[in-house]
Amino acid sequence: MSIATGAARPTAFPWSAVIGQERLKLALLLCAIDPSIGGVLVRGPRGVAKTTLARAFAELLPGRFVELPLHDQARRYLKSGPPWLERVMPFWAAGLLDRTVLVVLPMLTLLLPFFGLVVPVMARHHRGRIARSYAELRACDQQRDGLTLHDLDQRIARMRELDHEVTRLNLPTLYLGEMYNLKIHIDMVLRRLEERRTALVAGPASRSAGA
């Protein structure tokens, strides 16, 4: 902050020489009468006597005129005008959106590692559902030759039920190929079970016919 001395301070126009800006003049006068107001914030384009009135008003009061250096952001604002959001949206909406972005971006940065964990977990979950069906399918196929007729009927019913369960699985498109491969293998094991059942049923009849 720099304080302009009497020698370095630019020549100020008299208060009475400034024409117009009656509302600004009134605000400055009210602030001088009642300092509890807290001050006056002046905003406007160049050439409307903002600084001229401030210097002229300072001449009427005791003390010195204090000139604060502009912040880089304020200088850009004065040079380029309001931000793009404030041009296309109401001021309150632009401010709300700007603050929301400032809050959301750090949160997204913190959540990115979590999102990186979600994808493998979901992939493991979907593949696990298919793998459990394959485990049941393999066990049924391995036990096929040692099953009784009653057990074969139960396994055949279970394979048909498993086929319906797999069809109803709500899987992402990425895993549909694995799902249809599983359905092909279920159909293959189902045919083997049915062939085994047919052989068991035909076995006693063949022996009776041979006798």
Q: For residue 7, what pLDDT is reported?
A: 42
pLDDT beneath 50: ranges in the chain: 1-8, 209-211
**Nearest Cα to Cα of residue 153 among 139, 165, 164, 140:** 140
How far apart are alpha carbons 45 and 61 in whole angstroms?
A: 26
pLDDT tens track for 166-190: 888 787 787 788 888 889 999 999 9
Q: What angle do CA 88, 89, 94 make, to 5 degrees?
A: 120
Q: Are 76 and 11 in contact (CB under 8 A)?
A: no
Q: For residue 4, what pLDDT is reported?
A: 42
pLDDT tens track for 122-142: 777 778 888 888 888 888 888
Q: For residue 56, what pLDDT is reported?
A: 83
Q: For residue 117, what pLDDT is reported?
A: 64
